[in-house]
Structure 1
Amino acid sequence: MPSPQPEWVLARRRAIGDRIRDTRRKAQLSQERLAELAGIDRQAVNRIEQGHAAPYIDTLIRIAHALDVPLSDLVR
């Protein structure tokens, strides 16, 4: 069983989720629509935005593409 992540990692994951949510809202997209555009399910979008999931880099790239922003804007 993997060891739990340090709090600073979890805080960083939540910050990335916050940026994704803020960018999605500015684009006036629902979680469902973002999921469709990114090719993932809505529950995955929700878990990522809440900081409960640690997405693969490929998923973050797909989300950035769907939001039409550089990946660096989401993970800075």
Structure 2
Amino acid sequence: MAEQMRVLNIDGMTCGGCVASIYSATADIDGLLTMSIELTDNQATISYDDSKTDAETIAAAIEDAGFDVTIAQA
């Protein structure tokens, strides 16, 4: 396992309900280790096991929940 950490910029978050929706949308992703969402910064910091998932998969799950996501450069 190689743990990776990335920052996701998330547009469209306006309230705690949005944060809850993102946590719900990503809850079943195998390999997502931690996620910390900062509503005021429109960012999420994620750590994941890169042998099981990647930042693009996590970002896609958040996009499927109705948000626009870009992965910050490492």
Give the TM-score, by structure 1 length.
Answer: 0.38
Q: Which has the higher helix share?
A: 1
Q: Which has the higher strand share?
A: 2
Rg larger in structure: 1
Give the TM-score, by structure 2 length.
Answer: 0.39
